[in-house]
Structure 1
Amino acid sequence: MKIFKSILVSALLLFLLSACSNDSAKESNETEDKSTPGNEQTVKKERKEKAVNDNVKVEPLPTTYQELAKLPVGEYYNIATSEENSKKEIPKVFSDLPDISGNPSEKELDYFYRELLKKMQQDFEGPENLINRLKFESLGSPENTDSRYQFKDNLNIVFIIDASGSMAQKINGKEKMASAKDSILNFVNKLPKDAKVGIRVYGHKGTGSDADKALSCSSSELVYPISNYNAGEFQAALNKFSPSGWTPIGLALREAKNDLASFDGANNTNIVYLVSDGIDTCEDQPIEAAKDLYSSNISPIINVIGFDVDSEGQNQLREIAAATEGIYGTVTNEGELQKELDNLSNLTEQWKEWLKQGKQKIESKRIDNALEIFSYITHEGRKQTDERMKISSILYHLHRANRMDDESYEYLQEKNREYHNWIKTEIDQFKKELKALNEASYSEAIKALEDKYITNTQ
């Protein structure tokens, strides 16, 4: 009996030891599977195989800077991602992103990243806008072969101002409309006596209600006819309107064509500034109206200023500027608006100097674009950094909210780093090319830029 008990105990011990050994081996294998490089490749392979059966269609990321600049500005491009309010807000704001909480394939993760990027897309500016800015700032140069950018006997500047209800919003305690009026007033006070200025306003009648839409969408008025500056009359014109209704940009542009009808481009340098804080809300085809004005015998230079504008407004205003080969600029406060108009003041002084010299050709000189290039590269670099860091922060908060596992989180963070490293490389390359071109004459630089960046995108 004792021998039997001894054998039974020994058998039980052997069984337990064997079980423990198997469990240890299993744990060891599981740990090894999670940590060894070979297993990572296996997981990636499984994901790739699974992706073949996925139904999602992943839009490709841009491969050129021109493609990047054409992407619409994202709805949340300017969202704050600071720690104090992101823990709860980020998962809520981005709740409609694809669900990757399970075991997503690489294709599903790529799709998730592309959808997140759409929401966060910055307003990257392609080389075309820079070329148009360089052309505008060289207005009057004898090297400029485009007659639109040559000084004529007469200089006319028309402001088309948004008077929709949203212009009543305040920035730093001051109404946007008041800031726009003050900035324009500061500008006209510096005009040469021979220059002419006009102001057309739109959306200044009715209210923003549906009942007043028809009235407001048909409201646009030339409150200061194109003429030499008269301080009293100009101030009275500015006092005639205040923020009110809807936003008929198309109507205002078509009416501006009538305003300038007697100022043909052969004898007049015509510059139009469209100032708006949002999209056209009257469905009156603003882009077509802008093209029609641009291609008329008025031959105007049309520049667009987005004043504290959201992503949807930026996208439409950029399209108007692009359709007319004009400059698009975003300003967020009165100081930035004034700075934009100061560039215009410099041009009016150059025109005054041109008149003084008896309309003889100004001595040809190399245009110093160094500051403009530095400003452009700095702004593009800042956008790249902002977008990368904001997406990284959003991924972090979504990960903390258990919207993805560790492996998905690392995959997406790496994809974000790689994509923005590509953008940085493009900016660095563009910087080198621009610096090299700046050593050439203005005409050579512009031709080289156009040959490289514009003709290749047709």
Structure 2
Amino acid sequence: MKIFKSILVSALLLFLLSACSNDSAKESNETEDKSTPGNEQTVKKERKEKAVNGNIKVEPLPTTYQELAELPIGKYYNMDTSGENSKEEILKVFSDLPDISGNPSEKELDYFYSELLKRMQQDYEGPENLINRLKFESLGSPENSDSRYQFKDNLNVIFIIDASGSMAQKIDGKEKMTSAKDSILNFVSKLPKDAKVGIRVYGHKGTGSDSDKALSCSSSELVYPISNFNEGEFQTALNKFSPSGWTPIGLALREAKNDLASFDGANNTNIVYLVSDGIDTCDDQPIEAAKDLYSSNISPIINVIGFDVDSEGQNQLKQIAAATEGIYNTVTNESELQKELDQLNNLADQWQEWLERGKQHYEGELISNDLEIFNYITEEYVKCEDESSNIYLILGTLNDAKFFNREAYEYLTKVNREYHEWIDNEISKFNEELKELNEQNYNEAINQLQEKYNVNTQ
């Protein structure tokens, strides 16, 4: 009875507060087409039979930052919730969430929030990816116990490039494939003369049609064999392919193992960069192929770049990087891609310095942890803030559209606030740990982070 009175009072207050604006808009609203997709009345009508099942299972929220980072990225994680047409888009996208328009239980509300969160889940980066970044930036350190990250007589870099049809899409008026080619050409032109580079392309034959799937999914070619950079030959190799068909990532990774077969890890520092703008579309087990390449005697460092990739593609590419203890990074344009490759240029220069010193004890300065840690913490804070505010705006829009009562709205916003306060606190704690470790050298910091991560994930 108390709940009913509370709802009645809340409804009356909302009615009085909104009466003026409703009256002024009444005439135009009455003439509106009620069947228009995204229309509030249509949406609510469609939701009447979508009541929450009493046997629902609410998935618990993460309790560690590792668990948080392992959650799949939501389909609408980068949705603009404050734009000009955001209200209509929110109603359209989230109209199929569980119906809690009656008097839902806390369990039903928790389920609703869980389903909303799945769609807005940000691409949080767990400490293991930071560890891999620090390990990569410590490449060549004589104190590095992992031979994979030690300088060898030879440095080889092979790019595995996505040439599927989606790479024809444009960013800032320039085709993604053209941006990728220009960035890689700029990178290799700066490589030390003794370093070797190769390019393998995949999905460059056929089209994206079903009739061409078999052809396209079997297409992967080493267009520039692993060798020293020759500008004319390299440019010719880049001109050999253009965006075309499907996305056989697994095939390309397996073929890359053959490309590097004569460059064993004992005498070669091998670095593989996989560049893709989407998910594998050929069902050729890319994660298993990556693991096989990583565990071979080639001992490569495998880094993955998602180029203007959607949430589904990010989820798979992150799994490939995680399976090989490599770095995953998302770039949205040519400038960001070039910035990522510039880090590799710095390491190549350090390798050349080591080589020219006759392989004596390497005393070169490693890149400071400071900026890497600062960037990591800042980006995680931004993700937390974006996710929290976006969900809050979505809940506000759904509340205005009477998807649920005031009590439900207050409960959901409270859960959202407390959840993101927890994330914020976890980031703060990790930031303090990193500051302490930053007083030590790279390898001590990496070892302590690795030990903590292993404990947390056992």
Same fold (TM over 0.5): yes
**Structure 2 CA distance for aligned equivalents of residues 456 and 82 of structure 1:** 37
**Structure 2 CA distance for aligned equivalents of residues 111 and 413 of structure 1:** 14
Name the counterpart of 1:383: 383
1:362 is paired with a residue whose SS is coil
**Structure 2 CA distance for aligned equivalents of residues 332 and 425 of structure 1:** 29
**Structure 2 CA distance for aligned equivalents of residues 454 and 233 of structure 1:** 46
**Structure 1 CA distance for aligned equivalents of residues 456 and 89 of structure 2:** 43
What is the deviation of 1:86?
A: 1.9
What is the deviation of 1:263?
A: 0.2
In structure 2, give the amino acid aligned to 1:331.
V
Name the counterpart of 2:291: 291
What is the deviation of 1:325?
A: 0.3
Name the counterpart of 2:68: 68
**Structure 1 CA distance for aligned equivalents of residues 178 and 143 of structure 2:** 39
Name the counterpart of 2:275: 275
Shift in CA distance, 104/156, structure 1 to aligned 2, threshold 3 Å = same
**Structure 1 CA distance for aligned equivalents of residues 378 and 105 of structure 2:** 37
**Structure 1 CA distance for aligned equivalents of residues 228 and 7 of structure 2:** 82
Q: Is the 2:200–2:223 contact (alpha carbons within 8 Å) kept by the matching residues of 1? A: yes
Q: Is the 1:143–1:364 contact (alpha carbons within 8 Å) kept by the matching residues of 2? A: no
**Structure 2 CA distance for aligned equivalents of residues 88 and 314 of structure 1:** 27
Name the counterpart of 2:222: 222
What is the deviation of 1:381?
A: 0.5
**Structure 2 CA distance for aligned equivalents of residues 263 and 31 of structure 1:** 73
2:137 matched to 1:140?
no
Q: Is the 2:138–2:366 contact (alpha carbons within 8 Å) kept by the matching residues of 1? A: no
- Deviation string 1:18-77 (CA, Å, 9 cap, x unpaired) is xxxxxxxx99x9579969xxxxxxxxxxxxxxxxx9321100000000000000000110
| Unmatched tracts of structure 2, length 5 or more | 11-52
In structure 2, give the amino acid aligned to 1:422.
W
**Structure 2 CA distance for aligned equivalents of residues 201 and 31 of structure 1:** 64
In structure 1, give the amino acid aligned to 2:95.
S
What is the deviation of 1:443?
A: 1.9
Name the counterpart of 2:121: 121
2:87 is paired with a residue whose SS is helix
**Structure 2 CA distance for aligned equivalents of residues 177 and 364 of structure 1:** 36
**Structure 2 CA distance for aligned equivalents of residues 34 and 105 of structure 1:** 20
Q: Is the 1:264–1:299 contact (alpha carbons within 8 Å) kept by the matching residues of 2? A: yes
2:158 matched to 1:158?
yes
**Structure 2 CA distance for aligned equivalents of residues 288 and 326 of structure 1:** 15
**Structure 2 CA distance for aligned equivalents of residues 60 and 455 of structure 1:** 21
Name the counterpart of 2:402: 402
Q: Is the 2:137–2:366 contact (alpha carbons within 8 Å) kept by the matching residues of 1? A: no
- Deviation string 1:164-218 (CA, Å, 9 cap, x unpaired) is 0000000010000000000001100100000000000000000000000000000
Q: Is the 2:7–2:405 contact (alpha carbons within 8 Å) kept by the matching residues of 1? A: no
In structure 2, give the amino acid aligned to 1:384.
C
Shift in CA distance, 366/209, structure 1 to aligned 2, threshold 3 Å = closer
- Deviation string 1:355-382 (CA, Å, 9 cap, x unpaired) is 1111001138676201100000000000
In structure 1, give the amino acid aligned to 2:172.
N
Q: Is the 1:279–1:317 contact (alpha carbons within 8 Å) kept by the matching residues of 2? A: yes
**Structure 2 CA distance for aligned equivalents of residues 283 and 258 of structure 1:** 20
1:299 is paired with a residue whose SS is coil
2:132 is paired with a residue whose SS is helix
Name the counterpart of 2:38: none
Name the counterpart of 2:190: 190
Q: Is the 1:367–1:441 contact (alpha carbons within 8 Å) kept by the matching residues of 2? A: no
Shift in CA distance, 400/132, structure 1 to aligned 2, threshold 3 Å = same
**Structure 2 CA distance for aligned equivalents of residues 180 and 235 of structure 1:** 13
Larger radius of gyration between Structure 1 and Structure 2: 1
What is the deviation of 1:440?
A: 1.3
Q: Is the 1:128–1:454 contact (alpha carbons within 8 Å) kept by the matching residues of 2? A: no
- Deviation string 1:235-277 (CA, Å, 9 cap, x unpaired) is 0000000000000000000000000000000000000000000
Q: Is the 2:350–2:364 contact (alpha carbons within 8 Å) kept by the matching residues of 1? A: no
**Structure 2 CA distance for aligned equivalents of residues 256 and 226 of structure 1:** 10
Name the counterpart of 2:359: 359
What is the deviation of 1:336?
A: 0.4
- Deviation string 1:275-306 (CA, Å, 9 cap, x unpaired) is 00000000000000000000000000000000
| Unmatched tracts of structure 1, length 5 or more | 1-25, 36-52
In structure 1, give the amino acid aligned to 2:275.
V
Equivalent positions of 1:46-445 (< 5 A) are: 54-363=54-363, 368-445=368-445
**Structure 2 CA distance for aligned equivalents of residues 176 and 165 of structure 1:** 10
Name the counterpart of 1:456: 456
What is the deviation of 1:454?
A: 2.6
**Structure 2 CA distance for aligned equivalents of residues 366 and 219 of structure 1:** 40
In structure 1, give the amino acid aligned to 2:108.
E
- Aligned-CA RMSD value: 1.8
**Structure 2 CA distance for aligned equivalents of residues 242 and 78 of structure 1:** 29
Shift in CA distance, 261/413, structure 1 to aligned 2, threshold 3 Å = same
What is the deviation of 1:87?
A: 2.0
1:274 is paired with a residue whose SS is strand
**Structure 2 CA distance for aligned equivalents of residues 151 and 187 of structure 1:** 20
Q: Is the 1:86–1:397 contact (alpha carbons within 8 Å) kept by the matching residues of 2? A: no
- 202-211 or 394-403, which deviates more: 394-403
Corresponding residue pairs, total: 415
- 440-449 or 314-323, which deviates more: 440-449
Equivalent positions of 1:25-36 (< 5 A) are: 30=5
- Deviation string 1:105-158 (CA, Å, 9 cap, x unpaired) is 111000000000000000000000000000001100111110000000000000
Shift in CA distance, 402/60, structure 1 to aligned 2, threshold 3 Å = same
Shift in CA distance, 452/32, structure 1 to aligned 2, threshold 3 Å = closer
1:84 is paired with a residue whose SS is coil
The list of structure 1 runs, each at least 4 consecutive aligned residues, that deviate by more than 4 angstroms after superposition, is 29-35, 364-367
In structure 1, give the amino acid aligned to 2:199.
I
**Structure 2 CA distance for aligned equivalents of residues 387 and 278 of structure 1:** 23
**Structure 2 CA distance for aligned equivalents of residues 365 and 284 of structure 1:** 42
What is the deviation of 1:445?
A: 0.9
Q: Is the 2:7–2:406 contact (alpha carbons within 8 Å) kept by the matching residues of 1? A: no
TM-score, scaled to structure 1 = 0.88
In structure 1, give the amino acid aligned to 2:69.
A
